[in-house]
Amino acid sequence: MWGTEWPRFEVIKQDTKHGPPQMVGSVHAADPEHALLVARHVFVRRPAAYALFVAPAEAFFHVSQEGLKDLKPTRREGGSEEPYWVFAKRSHRRSMVYGDLVGRFLAQGPEDAIAQALLQAQGVAFWAVPERLVVGTEPTEEVVESWFAPAKEKTYRLQSYYGLITAKGVEND
């Protein structure tokens, strides 16, 4: 079923209720539920998070900047469709995230989904993954609270927590 190491899952993090889910990195895990738990330790040690999603890394179809010009989406008459999540890397600016969710697209394949996303969004790289393989935390108040609120209470949280430090003393501590 897998080699000698656990499968890799891409991790998608949504910082706020209305913010876009963003691709942040990946983790190795034995199953999606385990992947979500590991992802919380790796990517949500600091606030803020509203939701986390994972999907098997191998299920992602990727088009790089160089590959965009060779994208060949095919659509067949009456072909079966399913929803895909499509992510775009918007620019080359320095960032800690790569793809922002452009949206969900009913498509015959990942290339078709990306071609549809290209009508709405510009980007220098794209990713598409079938929605049926995406597993996420529930967006209920209870789940958000129990999964993500503890990070907010850490003693050692924000840089500003320490204020200005000089040889004369430490302010606001």
Task: Provide the binding-site residues for other proteins, judged by CB under 8 A.
Answer: 1, 4-6, 8, 25-31, 33-34, 41-43, 45-46, 57-58, 62-67, 89, 92, 94-98, 124-125, 154-159, 161-162, 165-167, 169-170, 173
Q: Closer CB to other proteins, residue 119 or residue 167?
A: 167
**AA letter at 73:** P
Residue 68 and residue 35: Cα distance in Å, rounded? 30
We find the least distance from the C-beta atom of residue 33 to other proteins, in angstroms, to be 8
We find the least distance from the C-beta atom of residue 156 to other proteins, in angstroms, to be 4
We find the least distance from the C-beta atom of residue 145 to other proteins, in angstroms, to be 20
